Chains A and B, each alone.
Chain A
Amino acid sequence: MKKIFPAIFFWVFLFFHVNGSCEEIVIVNAQKQYQLAQTLFEEKEFSAAAHEYIRFFHLFPNHEKVARAKYKTGLSFFYAGRLEDAGRHLEKIAADFSDSGFASDAMFKLSELYIATNAPGKATSVLRDLITLTNMPQVHDRACFMIGWLLLDKADILKSQSDYKVYPVREAEKYFSMISFKGKKKYRIEDSITSLKKISHLKKKTPALAGVLSIIPGGGFLYCGRYRDALVSFLLNSSLILAAHQSFENDNVFLGGVISLVEAGFYAGNIYGSVSSAHKYNIKKQKEFIDKLKQEYLVNQDKISFQSGFIKNGVALMFKYNF
């Protein structure tokens, strides 16, 4: 009897265990895996969704939804705030699936990502590539519209980059003009293009003239409308010149020399500041013009939005268009 009970217990345990194990076996097919990723995406669990999409295209590499899953991976990483991973996946989509519609979607998202990371130069490059590669009129128009606003919005940053040779505002005008007649009607961009032509009529300051005028300390600042700076510059420079002169007059050559050395710095700084102020004045005027243009556009339709925020090395302006 002692041997029978353990044997019965063993067989009963084995029966229930095997029976129980059979119930836990789950067969994952492509549809279920994709559905899981999709559900997580809809529930805004973006990191988890990204990993499930990755699992999907690893398990089912030949499935028809692979391109979509890869695009959604990039999108999920983007919304999860993992911009580096998002960029890597979106770039791969744009390169590997150039024939599918996801390539253009990926490139639009990629340009948005570059704007968010304060790299407008890269964003314009992506959109330029898209304009060249696409043969779909809607995509072409949308890309032209986006790049136009991006160039206007980031004109000063783009111009300050050494590899940017074209004048951004002029280029923006070119891209707006490239939008088809149907697209211009859709985006109601006609008025903006007409207004943009007026940018060349803006009253600007000549940096060279500002430099020449600052021969008299403060003259350049005065020309740029910086009256308080002009007064300070004039008083400071003239006082130092007078002090140096008096020192030399009183045979205090060493003191005169030291004051002259400091004054030389302030005098050169006055010329430099005047030229710099003229450049800044021109940029400010251009920015005001573009801001006005944006406002006028916004009055007509509320699809476009500009958001400002702080980033690591300064202030960023993000632009979003709802299609």
Chain B
Amino acid sequence: MLPKYDWCYIAWAAIVSTLISASQVYSQEEKQSNYSPGIIHFYQEYISPIDGDRCPMHPSCSTYLKNCVKKHGSLKGWIIGLDRLVRCGRDEVENSPSVWINGKKHIYDPVKNNDFWWSEK
């Protein structure tokens, strides 16, 4: 019989390996379809309408993350998307142009403005 800690490590290793392999398959599917990842879909469908339109950026952080995953796959998309969460609405205001959407000023920061230096897509 394995000790309690070893079971935890084994469970964790199984989860991580499942996530990695699922993300690889998911990336391929993402590139070919318009389907949005479950967690982002859940946020946009159920949380955002209650939380309100508070993101000062355009596209909003959730849409940006969705676009990143669509464009670059799950792993790279996740990293680029999290970078956006850190930058949202602070120094980017001084570095990016602004656009007016529904009478509100937003900071225009699409994926192409952040991957131009390495992505040829």
- Which A residues are within 8 Å of any B CB, using their own CB? 156, 160, 162, 207, 221, 225-229, 232-233, 236, 251, 253-254, 257, 261, 265-266, 268-270, 272-273, 275-276, 279-281, 284, 310, 314-315
Contacts and interface: CB of A to CB of B under 8 A. Distances in A.
Contacts of B86: 229, 232-233, 236, 266, 269-270, 273
Contacts, number: 79
B80 A257 contact: no
A289 to B, nearest CB: 16
A185 to B, nearest CB: 37
Contact of A279 (B16, B83, B90, B117): B117
Contacts of A310: 99
B80 A272 contact: yes
Contacts of A228: 90-91
A311 to B, nearest CB: 12
Contacts of B82: 265-266, 268-269
Contact of B90 (A232, A268, A284): A232
Contacts of B113: 280
Contacts of A269: 79-86
> Which DSSP category, helix, strand, loop or mixed, fits chain A's interface?
helix
B108 interface: yes
Nearest to B19: A261
B46 interface: no
Interface in B80-107: 80-87, 90-92, 95, 97, 99
Given A226-B91, A276-B117, A280-B113, 16 more contacts: A160-B116, A160-B117, A162-B120, A228-B90, A229-B86, A229-B90, A229-B91, A232-B86, A233-B86, A254-B8, A254-B12, A257-B12, A265-B79, A269-B80, A269-B86, A270-B86
